[in-house]
Amino acid sequence: MDFIVANLDLLMFPAAIVLLLCGFPVAFTLAGVGLIFAVLGALTQTGFFASGDLGFLRALFGRLFGLMDESNEVLVAVPLFVFMGVMLERSGVATELLESMAKLFGKWPGGLGISVAFVGMLLAASTGIVGATVVTMGLISLPTMLAHRYDKRLATGIISASGTLGQIIPPSIVLIILGDVLSNSYLEARRSVGDWAPTPVTVGDVFSGALLPGLLLVAIYMAYTLFMALWRPDAAPSATHLGETPSVRHLLQVLLPPLILIVAVLGSILFGVATPTEAASIGAVGALLLAGQRLSGTGAAPQIAAVLGVVIVVAAVVTFDLRVVRSDLPLADRIGMAIAAGGLALLAYGLAVSLRQTWLSRENGVPVLARAMRATTRMTAMVFTIYIGAQVFNLAFRGLGGEETIHGFFSALPGGPWMALAAVMLVMFFLGFFLDFLEIVFVVTPIMAPVLFAFNDASGQALFHPVWIAVLMGLNLQTSFLTPPFGFSLFYLRGVAPPEVSTGDIYRGVVPFVAIQVLVLGLVMAWPGLSTWLPGVLG
Protein backbone atom coordinates (compact mmCIF):
# COMPACT_ATOMS: atom_id res chain seq x y z
CA MET A 1 0.00 0.00 0.00
CA ASP A 2 2.83 2.38 0.83
CA PHE A 3 4.32 1.72 -2.62
CA ILE A 4 1.05 2.69 -4.31
CA VAL A 5 0.71 5.88 -2.26
CA ALA A 6 4.33 6.83 -3.02
CA ASN A 7 3.82 6.36 -6.76
CA LEU A 8 0.34 7.74 -7.31
CA ASP A 9 1.72 10.26 -9.82
CA LEU A 10 3.31 7.60 -12.05
CA LEU A 11 0.29 5.30 -11.80
CA MET A 12 -1.86 7.94 -13.50
CA PHE A 13 -0.39 7.10 -16.92
CA PRO A 14 -1.11 3.33 -17.00
CA ALA A 15 -4.56 4.03 -15.58
CA ALA A 16 -5.30 6.50 -18.39
CA ILE A 17 -3.94 4.15 -21.07
CA VAL A 18 -6.04 1.22 -19.82
CA LEU A 19 -9.22 3.32 -19.82
CA LEU A 20 -8.47 4.65 -23.30
CA LEU A 21 -7.95 1.12 -24.58
CA CYS A 22 -11.34 0.23 -23.10
CA GLY A 23 -12.90 2.82 -25.40
CA PHE A 24 -13.66 5.71 -23.05
CA PRO A 25 -13.58 9.21 -24.64
CA VAL A 26 -10.16 10.83 -24.41
CA ALA A 27 -11.14 14.14 -22.82
CA PHE A 28 -13.32 12.56 -20.13
CA THR A 29 -10.73 9.87 -19.46
CA LEU A 30 -8.01 12.44 -18.81
CA ALA A 31 -10.24 14.62 -16.64
CA GLY A 32 -11.69 11.61 -14.79
CA VAL A 33 -8.29 10.05 -14.05
CA GLY A 34 -7.03 13.43 -12.88
CA LEU A 35 -9.96 13.92 -10.49
CA ILE A 36 -9.82 10.36 -9.15
CA PHE A 37 -6.12 10.53 -8.40
CA ALA A 38 -6.50 14.02 -6.92
CA VAL A 39 -9.09 12.62 -4.52
CA LEU A 40 -6.75 9.72 -3.70
CA GLY A 41 -3.99 12.26 -3.08
CA ALA A 42 -6.24 14.22 -0.71
CA LEU A 43 -7.29 11.05 1.13
CA THR A 44 -3.67 9.94 1.54
CA GLN A 45 -2.45 13.55 2.07
CA THR A 46 0.16 13.25 -0.69
CA GLY A 47 2.14 16.11 -2.26
CA PHE A 48 0.26 19.40 -2.59
CA PHE A 49 -2.88 17.60 -1.43
CA ALA A 50 -1.30 17.11 2.02
CA SER A 51 -3.96 19.38 3.58
CA GLY A 52 -6.59 16.81 2.68
CA ASP A 53 -8.54 19.01 0.23
CA LEU A 54 -8.52 19.66 -3.51
CA GLY A 55 -7.63 23.34 -3.33
CA PHE A 56 -4.65 22.82 -5.63
CA LEU A 57 -7.05 22.24 -8.51
CA ARG A 58 -8.29 25.82 -8.30
CA ALA A 59 -5.44 26.72 -10.63
CA LEU A 60 -7.48 25.05 -13.39
CA PHE A 61 -9.72 28.10 -13.71
CA GLY A 62 -6.76 30.41 -14.21
CA ARG A 63 -5.39 28.14 -16.92
CA LEU A 64 -8.70 27.99 -18.77
CA PHE A 65 -9.21 31.75 -18.56
CA GLY A 66 -5.65 32.13 -19.85
CA LEU A 67 -6.63 29.97 -22.82
CA MET A 68 -9.64 32.16 -23.57
CA ASP A 69 -7.92 35.48 -22.81
CA GLU A 70 -8.23 38.00 -25.62
CA SER A 71 -4.44 38.33 -25.75
CA ASN A 72 -4.03 34.64 -26.66
CA GLU A 73 -4.71 34.67 -30.39
CA VAL A 74 -2.55 31.72 -31.41
CA LEU A 75 -5.11 28.96 -30.88
CA VAL A 76 -7.74 30.92 -32.85
CA ALA A 77 -5.79 29.70 -35.88
CA VAL A 78 -6.90 26.11 -35.16
CA PRO A 79 -10.56 26.39 -36.34
CA LEU A 80 -9.51 28.63 -39.24
CA PHE A 81 -6.96 26.14 -40.56
CA VAL A 82 -9.41 23.28 -40.00
CA PHE A 83 -12.05 25.13 -42.02
CA MET A 84 -9.48 25.81 -44.75
CA GLY A 85 -8.59 22.13 -44.97
CA VAL A 86 -12.16 20.83 -44.88
CA MET A 87 -13.35 23.31 -47.51
CA LEU A 88 -10.49 22.46 -49.87
CA GLU A 89 -11.14 18.75 -49.40
CA ARG A 90 -14.86 19.16 -50.09
CA SER A 91 -14.21 21.25 -53.20
CA GLY A 92 -12.39 18.40 -54.94
CA VAL A 93 -8.85 19.81 -54.90
CA ALA A 94 -7.36 16.51 -53.76
CA THR A 95 -9.20 14.51 -56.41
CA GLU A 96 -8.02 16.71 -59.28
CA LEU A 97 -4.45 16.79 -58.01
CA LEU A 98 -4.26 13.02 -57.64
CA GLU A 99 -5.72 12.28 -61.05
CA SER A 100 -3.53 14.83 -62.83
CA MET A 101 -0.28 13.85 -61.07
CA ALA A 102 -0.98 10.15 -61.66
CA LYS A 103 -1.28 10.81 -65.40
CA LEU A 104 1.87 12.95 -65.35
CA PHE A 105 4.15 10.61 -63.35
CA GLY A 106 2.39 7.27 -63.71
CA LYS A 107 4.24 6.11 -66.80
CA TRP A 108 7.54 6.14 -64.87
CA PRO A 109 8.61 3.13 -62.77
CA GLY A 110 7.21 3.89 -59.33
CA GLY A 111 5.48 6.94 -60.78
CA LEU A 112 2.14 6.36 -59.05
CA GLY A 113 3.86 6.14 -55.67
CA ILE A 114 5.85 9.30 -56.40
CA SER A 115 2.66 11.11 -57.42
CA VAL A 116 1.01 10.09 -54.13
CA ALA A 117 3.95 11.50 -52.14
CA PHE A 118 3.94 14.71 -54.20
CA VAL A 119 0.19 15.25 -53.79
CA GLY A 120 0.49 14.36 -50.09
CA MET A 121 3.01 17.18 -49.75
CA LEU A 122 0.71 19.68 -51.49
CA LEU A 123 -2.31 18.61 -49.46
CA ALA A 124 -0.25 18.80 -46.27
CA ALA A 125 0.56 22.44 -47.01
CA SER A 126 -3.03 23.26 -47.91
CA THR A 127 -5.40 21.00 -45.96
CA GLY A 128 -3.28 19.40 -43.23
CA ILE A 129 -6.09 17.02 -42.20
CA VAL A 130 -4.79 13.47 -42.00
CA GLY A 131 -8.12 11.65 -42.12
CA ALA A 132 -9.41 13.46 -45.21
CA THR A 133 -6.08 13.11 -47.03
CA VAL A 134 -5.64 9.38 -46.34
CA VAL A 135 -9.26 8.55 -47.19
CA THR A 136 -9.16 10.57 -50.43
CA MET A 137 -5.88 9.03 -51.59
CA GLY A 138 -7.05 5.59 -50.49
CA LEU A 139 -10.25 5.86 -52.54
CA ILE A 140 -8.61 7.28 -55.66
CA SER A 141 -5.01 6.04 -55.77
CA LEU A 142 -5.08 2.63 -54.07
CA PRO A 143 -7.43 0.94 -56.61
CA THR A 144 -5.36 2.40 -59.47
CA MET A 145 -2.09 1.19 -57.95
CA LEU A 146 -3.48 -2.29 -57.33
CA ALA A 147 -4.89 -2.42 -60.86
CA HIS A 148 -1.38 -1.78 -62.18
CA ARG A 149 0.00 -4.63 -60.03
CA TYR A 150 1.71 -2.51 -57.38
CA ASP A 151 2.84 -4.43 -54.33
CA LYS A 152 0.02 -4.08 -51.77
CA ARG A 153 2.38 -3.28 -48.93
CA LEU A 154 4.24 -0.59 -50.84
CA ALA A 155 1.00 0.98 -52.07
CA THR A 156 -0.64 1.10 -48.63
CA GLY A 157 2.59 2.24 -47.01
CA ILE A 158 3.15 5.24 -49.27
CA ILE A 159 -0.51 6.31 -49.00
CA SER A 160 -0.56 6.03 -45.19
CA ALA A 161 2.76 7.84 -44.78
CA SER A 162 2.04 10.61 -47.31
CA GLY A 163 -1.30 11.25 -45.63
CA THR A 164 0.45 12.13 -42.36
CA LEU A 165 2.69 14.82 -43.88
CA GLY A 166 0.17 17.42 -42.77
CA GLN A 167 1.41 16.90 -39.23
CA ILE A 168 4.92 18.21 -39.93
CA ILE A 169 4.63 20.38 -43.06
CA PRO A 170 3.20 23.78 -42.08
CA PRO A 171 0.61 25.08 -41.66
CA SER A 172 0.00 22.19 -39.27
CA ILE A 173 -2.51 22.05 -36.44
CA VAL A 174 -0.05 19.89 -34.50
CA LEU A 175 2.67 22.52 -34.86
CA ILE A 176 0.30 25.32 -33.81
CA ILE A 177 -0.67 23.52 -30.60
CA LEU A 178 2.86 22.27 -30.00
CA GLY A 179 4.32 25.74 -30.55
CA ASP A 180 1.84 27.29 -28.12
CA VAL A 181 2.49 24.66 -25.43
CA LEU A 182 6.27 24.73 -25.86
CA SER A 183 6.51 28.54 -25.86
CA ASN A 184 4.92 28.63 -22.40
CA SER A 185 7.01 25.71 -21.15
CA TYR A 186 10.20 27.31 -22.47
CA LEU A 187 9.60 30.64 -20.74
CA GLU A 188 8.72 28.98 -17.43
CA ALA A 189 11.70 26.62 -17.56
CA ARG A 190 14.22 29.37 -18.39
CA ARG A 191 12.92 31.62 -15.63
CA SER A 192 13.16 28.73 -13.16
CA VAL A 193 16.92 28.59 -13.76
CA GLY A 194 17.42 32.36 -13.48
CA ASP A 195 17.20 33.33 -17.16
CA TRP A 196 14.74 36.22 -16.92
CA ALA A 197 15.03 37.40 -20.53
CA PRO A 198 14.78 34.30 -22.75
CA THR A 199 14.14 34.85 -26.44
CA PRO A 200 10.49 33.82 -26.95
CA VAL A 201 9.63 31.16 -29.50
CA THR A 202 6.63 31.72 -31.75
CA VAL A 203 4.47 29.42 -33.84
CA GLY A 204 5.94 31.12 -36.91
CA ASP A 205 9.42 30.04 -35.78
CA VAL A 206 8.19 26.46 -35.41
CA PHE A 207 6.60 26.58 -38.87
CA SER A 208 9.80 27.76 -40.53
CA GLY A 209 11.85 25.24 -38.55
CA ALA A 210 9.67 22.32 -39.64
CA LEU A 211 9.62 23.20 -43.34
CA LEU A 212 13.01 21.75 -44.39
CA PRO A 213 12.68 18.51 -42.33
CA GLY A 214 9.20 18.04 -43.80
CA LEU A 215 10.46 18.45 -47.37
CA LEU A 216 13.38 16.12 -46.58
CA LEU A 217 10.87 13.52 -45.45
CA VAL A 218 8.96 13.84 -48.73
CA ALA A 219 12.20 13.50 -50.74
CA ILE A 220 13.17 10.31 -48.91
CA TYR A 221 9.66 8.86 -49.39
CA MET A 222 10.03 9.45 -53.14
CA ALA A 223 13.59 8.10 -53.19
CA TYR A 224 12.50 4.94 -51.38
CA THR A 225 9.63 4.40 -53.83
CA LEU A 226 11.97 4.88 -56.79
CA PHE A 227 14.52 2.53 -55.22
CA MET A 228 11.85 -0.16 -54.80
CA ALA A 229 10.75 0.34 -58.42
CA LEU A 230 14.33 -0.17 -59.66
CA TRP A 231 15.25 -2.96 -57.24
CA ARG A 232 11.98 -4.86 -57.60
CA PRO A 233 10.33 -3.75 -60.86
CA ASP A 234 7.31 -5.95 -60.17
CA ALA A 235 6.60 -4.02 -56.92
CA ALA A 236 6.08 -0.65 -58.62
CA PRO A 237 5.67 -1.06 -62.39
CA SER A 238 4.89 1.64 -64.91
CA ALA A 239 1.21 2.52 -65.34
CA THR A 240 0.32 2.57 -69.03
CA HIS A 241 -3.48 2.81 -68.98
CA LEU A 242 -4.12 6.15 -67.29
CA GLY A 243 -4.99 8.18 -70.38
CA GLU A 244 -3.15 10.99 -72.09
CA THR A 245 -0.56 13.08 -70.30
CA PRO A 246 -2.31 16.27 -69.13
CA SER A 247 -1.55 19.46 -71.00
CA VAL A 248 0.45 22.30 -69.49
CA ARG A 249 -2.70 24.42 -69.39
CA HIS A 250 -4.61 21.76 -67.46
CA LEU A 251 -1.73 21.30 -65.01
CA LEU A 252 -1.62 25.03 -64.39
CA GLN A 253 -5.37 25.14 -63.81
CA VAL A 254 -5.08 22.33 -61.26
CA LEU A 255 -1.85 23.34 -59.55
CA LEU A 256 -1.80 27.13 -59.56
CA PRO A 257 -4.81 27.92 -57.30
CA PRO A 258 -3.72 25.71 -54.35
CA LEU A 259 -0.08 26.73 -54.86
CA ILE A 260 -1.00 30.43 -54.76
CA LEU A 261 -3.00 29.80 -51.59
CA ILE A 262 -0.10 27.89 -50.01
CA VAL A 263 2.37 30.66 -50.88
CA ALA A 264 0.00 33.33 -49.55
CA VAL A 265 -0.54 31.54 -46.23
CA LEU A 266 2.95 30.18 -45.61
CA GLY A 267 4.77 33.13 -47.13
CA SER A 268 2.89 35.63 -44.97
CA ILE A 269 3.89 33.66 -41.87
CA LEU A 270 7.49 32.89 -42.77
CA PHE A 271 8.32 36.45 -43.83
CA GLY A 272 6.60 38.03 -40.85
CA VAL A 273 3.89 39.77 -42.85
CA ALA A 274 1.12 38.13 -40.81
CA THR A 275 0.75 36.16 -37.61
CA PRO A 276 -0.35 32.51 -37.88
CA THR A 277 -3.88 33.54 -36.91
CA GLU A 278 -4.02 36.26 -39.57
CA ALA A 279 -2.55 33.87 -42.13
CA ALA A 280 -5.16 31.28 -41.14
CA SER A 281 -7.89 33.78 -41.90
CA ILE A 282 -6.30 34.36 -45.31
CA GLY A 283 -6.32 30.61 -45.86
CA ALA A 284 -9.97 30.27 -44.82
CA VAL A 285 -11.07 33.06 -47.16
CA GLY A 286 -8.91 31.70 -50.00
CA ALA A 287 -10.27 28.18 -49.54
CA LEU A 288 -13.83 29.52 -49.62
CA LEU A 289 -13.15 31.42 -52.84
CA LEU A 290 -11.47 28.39 -54.41
CA ALA A 291 -14.33 26.11 -53.40
CA GLY A 292 -16.89 28.56 -54.78
CA GLN A 293 -15.07 28.69 -58.11
CA ARG A 294 -14.71 24.90 -58.40
CA LEU A 295 -18.31 24.19 -57.42
CA SER A 296 -19.90 26.84 -59.62
CA GLY A 297 -18.96 25.51 -63.04
CA THR A 298 -19.77 28.94 -64.51
CA GLY A 299 -16.39 30.64 -64.46
CA ALA A 300 -14.24 32.38 -61.90
CA ALA A 301 -15.13 36.06 -62.47
CA PRO A 302 -16.41 36.71 -58.89
CA GLN A 303 -13.37 35.02 -57.34
CA ILE A 304 -10.97 36.89 -59.62
CA ALA A 305 -12.75 40.12 -58.61
CA ALA A 306 -12.22 39.20 -54.94
CA VAL A 307 -8.50 38.57 -55.49
CA LEU A 308 -8.25 41.86 -57.39
CA GLY A 309 -9.98 43.55 -54.45
CA VAL A 310 -7.34 42.16 -52.06
CA VAL A 311 -4.56 43.46 -54.33
CA ILE A 312 -6.21 46.90 -54.42
CA VAL A 313 -6.51 47.00 -50.61
CA VAL A 314 -2.88 45.97 -50.12
CA ALA A 315 -1.72 48.57 -52.63
CA ALA A 316 -3.81 51.26 -50.89
CA VAL A 317 -2.37 50.32 -47.49
CA VAL A 318 1.18 50.57 -48.84
CA THR A 319 0.60 53.82 -50.74
CA PHE A 320 -1.68 55.84 -48.42
CA ASP A 321 -2.11 56.47 -44.71
CA LEU A 322 -5.51 54.91 -44.03
CA ARG A 323 -5.77 55.77 -40.33
CA VAL A 324 -9.21 57.23 -39.75
CA VAL A 325 -8.74 58.63 -36.22
CA ARG A 326 -6.84 61.79 -37.15
CA SER A 327 -7.58 65.48 -36.81
CA ASP A 328 -6.53 66.18 -40.39
CA LEU A 329 -7.29 63.91 -43.35
CA PRO A 330 -5.48 65.04 -46.53
CA LEU A 331 -7.32 64.67 -49.82
CA ALA A 332 -4.85 62.02 -51.05
CA ASP A 333 -5.53 59.82 -48.02
CA ARG A 334 -9.29 60.22 -48.47
CA ILE A 335 -8.89 59.05 -52.06
CA GLY A 336 -6.84 56.10 -50.76
CA MET A 337 -9.64 55.23 -48.32
CA ALA A 338 -12.16 55.30 -51.15
CA ILE A 339 -9.94 53.04 -53.24
CA ALA A 340 -9.55 50.63 -50.32
CA ALA A 341 -13.31 50.65 -49.77
CA GLY A 342 -13.78 49.70 -53.43
CA GLY A 343 -11.33 46.83 -53.03
CA LEU A 344 -13.18 45.61 -49.95
CA ALA A 345 -16.45 45.78 -51.89
CA LEU A 346 -14.97 43.53 -54.60
CA LEU A 347 -13.75 41.09 -51.93
CA ALA A 348 -17.17 41.08 -50.28
CA TYR A 349 -18.83 40.40 -53.64
CA GLY A 350 -16.57 37.44 -54.38
CA LEU A 351 -17.08 36.02 -50.89
CA ALA A 352 -20.86 36.42 -51.10
CA VAL A 353 -20.98 34.57 -54.42
CA SER A 354 -18.71 31.80 -53.08
CA LEU A 355 -20.78 31.42 -49.89
CA ARG A 356 -23.94 31.15 -51.98
CA GLN A 357 -22.38 28.56 -54.27
CA THR A 358 -21.03 26.42 -51.44
CA TRP A 359 -24.47 26.55 -49.82
CA LEU A 360 -26.34 25.61 -53.00
CA SER A 361 -23.92 22.79 -53.89
CA ARG A 362 -24.96 19.69 -52.00
CA GLU A 363 -23.26 16.49 -51.01
CA ASN A 364 -25.70 13.70 -50.16
CA GLY A 365 -28.40 16.34 -49.78
CA VAL A 366 -26.41 18.49 -47.34
CA PRO A 367 -24.90 21.85 -48.40
CA VAL A 368 -21.11 21.72 -48.75
CA LEU A 369 -20.78 24.82 -46.56
CA ALA A 370 -22.86 23.21 -43.81
CA ARG A 371 -20.73 20.05 -43.93
CA ALA A 372 -17.55 22.10 -43.69
CA MET A 373 -18.85 24.14 -40.77
CA ARG A 374 -19.99 21.05 -38.89
CA ALA A 375 -16.69 19.26 -39.44
CA THR A 376 -14.80 22.37 -38.29
CA THR A 377 -16.96 22.69 -35.17
CA ARG A 378 -16.58 19.02 -34.26
CA MET A 379 -12.80 19.00 -34.67
CA THR A 380 -12.30 22.29 -32.85
CA ALA A 381 -14.55 21.21 -29.99
CA MET A 382 -12.62 17.94 -29.74
CA VAL A 383 -9.27 19.73 -29.55
CA PHE A 384 -10.29 22.15 -26.82
CA THR A 385 -12.25 19.59 -24.83
CA ILE A 386 -9.16 17.40 -24.76
CA TYR A 387 -7.19 20.48 -23.70
CA ILE A 388 -9.49 20.99 -20.70
CA GLY A 389 -9.28 17.31 -19.70
CA ALA A 390 -5.49 17.40 -20.08
CA GLN A 391 -5.27 20.44 -17.78
CA VAL A 392 -7.09 18.53 -15.04
CA PHE A 393 -4.75 15.57 -15.55
CA ASN A 394 -1.63 17.77 -15.50
CA LEU A 395 -2.68 19.64 -12.36
CA ALA A 396 -3.38 16.39 -10.50
CA PHE A 397 -0.05 14.98 -11.68
CA ARG A 398 1.83 18.04 -10.44
CA GLY A 399 -0.15 18.11 -7.23
CA LEU A 400 0.99 14.56 -6.51
CA GLY A 401 4.61 15.60 -6.99
CA GLY A 402 4.97 14.21 -10.48
CA GLU A 403 6.93 17.15 -11.83
CA GLU A 404 9.68 16.61 -9.26
CA THR A 405 9.65 12.88 -9.96
CA ILE A 406 10.15 13.41 -13.70
CA HIS A 407 12.81 16.06 -13.20
CA GLY A 408 14.70 13.85 -10.74
CA PHE A 409 14.53 10.88 -13.10
CA PHE A 410 15.90 12.73 -16.14
CA SER A 411 18.53 14.59 -14.13
CA ALA A 412 19.84 11.32 -12.72
CA LEU A 413 20.23 9.63 -16.11
CA PRO A 414 23.83 8.82 -17.06
CA GLY A 415 24.95 10.85 -20.03
CA GLY A 416 23.44 14.10 -18.81
CA PRO A 417 21.22 16.33 -20.98
CA TRP A 418 21.70 14.34 -24.19
CA MET A 419 20.56 11.13 -22.56
CA ALA A 420 17.57 13.03 -21.17
CA LEU A 421 16.72 14.21 -24.70
CA ALA A 422 17.01 10.66 -26.05
CA ALA A 423 14.82 9.36 -23.22
CA VAL A 424 12.12 11.97 -23.92
CA MET A 425 12.11 11.08 -27.62
CA LEU A 426 11.92 7.37 -26.79
CA VAL A 427 9.04 7.84 -24.34
CA MET A 428 7.08 9.93 -26.86
CA PHE A 429 7.73 7.37 -29.60
CA PHE A 430 6.39 4.45 -27.55
CA LEU A 431 3.44 6.44 -26.22
CA GLY A 432 2.53 7.02 -29.87
CA PHE A 433 1.67 3.32 -30.12
CA PHE A 434 -1.19 3.85 -27.66
CA LEU A 435 -2.04 7.57 -27.49
CA ASP A 436 -3.21 10.16 -29.99
CA PHE A 437 -0.95 13.12 -30.74
CA LEU A 438 -3.28 15.49 -28.86
CA GLU A 439 -2.94 13.56 -25.59
CA ILE A 440 0.84 13.52 -25.99
CA VAL A 441 1.00 17.26 -26.76
CA PHE A 442 -1.34 18.33 -23.98
CA VAL A 443 -0.29 15.84 -21.30
CA VAL A 444 3.27 14.64 -21.90
CA THR A 445 4.89 17.71 -23.48
CA PRO A 446 4.21 20.18 -20.62
CA ILE A 447 5.68 17.65 -18.18
CA MET A 448 8.83 16.65 -20.07
CA ALA A 449 9.72 19.74 -22.11
CA PRO A 450 10.61 21.97 -19.11
CA VAL A 451 13.23 19.40 -18.06
CA LEU A 452 15.00 19.81 -21.41
CA PHE A 453 14.70 23.59 -21.47
CA ALA A 454 16.23 23.89 -17.98
CA PHE A 455 19.64 22.60 -19.14
CA ASN A 456 22.29 25.30 -19.70
CA ASP A 457 25.36 25.38 -21.90
CA ALA A 458 28.76 26.72 -20.82
CA SER A 459 27.66 30.33 -21.35
CA GLY A 460 24.52 29.95 -19.25
CA GLN A 461 22.16 29.95 -22.23
CA ALA A 462 19.62 27.25 -23.06
CA LEU A 463 21.44 24.12 -24.22
CA PHE A 464 18.59 22.99 -26.50
CA HIS A 465 17.11 25.39 -29.04
CA PRO A 466 13.30 25.48 -28.51
CA VAL A 467 12.55 25.34 -32.27
CA TRP A 468 14.80 22.30 -32.63
CA ILE A 469 13.00 20.56 -29.76
CA ALA A 470 9.63 21.48 -31.29
CA VAL A 471 10.57 19.99 -34.67
CA LEU A 472 11.95 16.83 -33.06
CA MET A 473 8.70 16.41 -31.13
CA GLY A 474 6.64 17.15 -34.24
CA LEU A 475 8.45 14.46 -36.23
CA ASN A 476 8.06 12.06 -33.32
CA LEU A 477 4.35 12.79 -32.99
CA GLN A 478 3.86 12.17 -36.70
CA THR A 479 4.84 8.54 -36.19
CA SER A 480 1.89 8.12 -33.79
CA PHE A 481 -0.37 8.10 -36.88
CA LEU A 482 1.57 5.19 -38.39
CA THR A 483 2.58 2.94 -35.50
CA PRO A 484 0.40 -0.15 -34.98
CA PRO A 485 -1.84 -1.08 -33.34
CA PHE A 486 -3.61 2.29 -32.98
CA GLY A 487 -2.17 4.46 -35.76
CA PHE A 488 -5.09 6.51 -37.01
CA SER A 489 -3.76 6.68 -40.56
CA LEU A 490 -3.87 2.89 -40.68
CA PHE A 491 -7.49 2.84 -39.51
CA TYR A 492 -8.51 5.47 -42.07
CA LEU A 493 -6.95 3.46 -44.89
CA ARG A 494 -8.37 0.16 -43.63
CA GLY A 495 -11.86 1.69 -43.84
CA VAL A 496 -11.57 2.42 -47.58
CA ALA A 497 -9.17 -0.31 -48.75
CA PRO A 498 -10.49 -3.06 -51.07
CA PRO A 499 -11.19 -6.49 -49.52
CA GLU A 500 -8.05 -8.02 -51.05
CA VAL A 501 -5.90 -5.69 -48.91
CA SER A 502 -5.63 -7.15 -45.42
CA THR A 503 -4.93 -5.30 -42.19
CA GLY A 504 -1.64 -7.20 -42.04
CA ASP A 505 -0.67 -5.80 -45.45
CA ILE A 506 -1.27 -2.27 -44.18
CA TYR A 507 0.63 -2.84 -40.93
CA ARG A 508 3.62 -4.43 -42.67
CA GLY A 509 3.58 -1.89 -45.49
CA VAL A 510 3.99 1.05 -43.15
CA VAL A 511 7.05 -0.35 -41.34
CA PRO A 512 9.64 1.00 -43.85
CA PHE A 513 8.05 4.45 -43.69
CA VAL A 514 8.14 4.47 -39.90
CA ALA A 515 11.84 3.61 -40.25
CA ILE A 516 12.24 6.56 -42.66
CA GLN A 517 10.62 8.89 -40.15
CA VAL A 518 12.95 7.63 -37.42
CA LEU A 519 15.86 8.19 -39.83
CA VAL A 520 14.81 11.80 -40.48
CA LEU A 521 14.32 12.29 -36.73
CA GLY A 522 17.89 11.07 -36.23
CA LEU A 523 19.21 13.37 -38.97
CA VAL A 524 17.53 16.41 -37.42
CA MET A 525 18.84 15.39 -34.01
CA ALA A 526 22.38 15.01 -35.40
CA TRP A 527 22.24 18.27 -37.42
CA PRO A 528 20.11 20.82 -35.56
CA GLY A 529 20.73 23.29 -38.38
CA LEU A 530 18.14 21.46 -40.47
CA SER A 531 15.51 23.00 -38.19
CA THR A 532 17.20 26.17 -36.94
CA TRP A 533 18.80 27.54 -40.13
CA LEU A 534 15.64 28.83 -41.83
CA PRO A 535 14.21 30.54 -38.70
CA GLY A 536 17.60 32.22 -38.28
CA VAL A 537 17.59 33.46 -41.88
CA LEU A 538 14.00 34.69 -41.75
CA GLY A 539 14.21 35.98 -38.20
Q: What is the percent of the chain where pLDDT is above 90?
A: 15
Mean pLDDT within 202-207: 87
pLDDT digits (tens, 9 = 90+) for 153-184: 998 999 989 888 888 888 888 888 888 888 88
Give the per-residue pLDDT at 47.
Answer: 66
Does the pLDDT at position 5 exceed 60?
yes
pLDDT digits (tens, 9 = 90+) for 437-491: 777 888 888 888 888 888 887 777 878 888 999 999 999 988 888 887 777 788 7
| Count, residues in the chain | 539
Name 407's Cβ contacts closer than 8 Å, sequence gap at least 6. 450, 451, 454
Give the per-residue pLDDT at 348.
Answer: 94
Q: How confident is the model at residue 48 (pLDDT cuts 50, 70, 90)?
A: low
Residue 512 CA to residue 504 CA, distance in Å, equals 14
Residue 410 CA to residue 261 CA, distance in Å, equals 44
**C-alpha 444 chain-centroid distance:** 17
pLDDT digits (tens, 9 = 90+) for 324-377: 877 788 888 889 999 999 999 999 999 999 999 989 888 778 888 898 899 888
Q: Say if CB 141 and CB 116 are below 8 A apart.
A: yes
Does the pLDDT at position 33 exceed 60?
yes
Does the pLDDT at position 523 exceed 60?
yes
Does the pLDDT at position 70 exceed 60?
no
Helix (H, G, I), strand (E, B) or coil at 144: helix
Q: Which of 364, 86, 110 is nearest to 223 (CA)?
A: 110
Give the per-residue pLDDT at 50.
Answer: 65
Q: Which of 156, 147, 100 is nearest to 241 (CA)?
A: 147
Q: What is the C-alpha end-to-end distance of the chain, expressed in Å?
A: 54
- Using alpha carbons, list the distances in angstroms from residue 281 to 92, 260, 460: 21, 15, 40
Give the per-residue pLDDT at 80.
Answer: 86
Does the pLDDT at position 71 exceed 60?
no
Q: How confident is the model at residue 527 (pLDDT cuts 50, 70, 90)?
A: very high
Does the pLDDT at position 220 exceed 90?
yes
- Using alpha carbons, list the distances in angstroms from residue 375 to 126, 225, 269, 436, 455: 17, 33, 25, 19, 42
Does the pLDDT at position 242 exceed 80?
no
Helix (H, G, I), strand (E, B) or coil at 22: coil
Residue type, 310: V
Which of 223-227, 239-243, 383-387 shows the lowest per-residue confidence on average (mean pLDDT)? 239-243
Residue 488 CA to residue 490 CA, distance in Å, equals 5
The more confident residue out of 500 and 95 is 500
Give the per-residue pLDDT at 72.
Answer: 63
Give the per-residue pLDDT at 51.
Answer: 65
Give the per-residue pLDDT at 391.
Answer: 84
Q: Say if CB 113 and CB 146 are below 8 A apart.
A: no
Q: What is the percent of the chain where pLDDT is above 70?
A: 93
Q: How confident is the model at residue 417 (pLDDT cuts 50, 70, 90)?
A: confident
Give the per-residue pLDDT at 530.
Answer: 92
Most confident of 41-55, 237-251, 291-305: 291-305
Give the per-residue pLDDT at 344.
Answer: 93
Residue 122 CA to residue 256 CA, distance in Å, equals 11
Domain boundaries, the chain: 91-246+432-539
User: Average pLDDT of the chain?
Assistant: 83
Name 10's Cβ contacts closer than 8 Å, sequence gap at least 6. 402, 405
DSSP 456: B
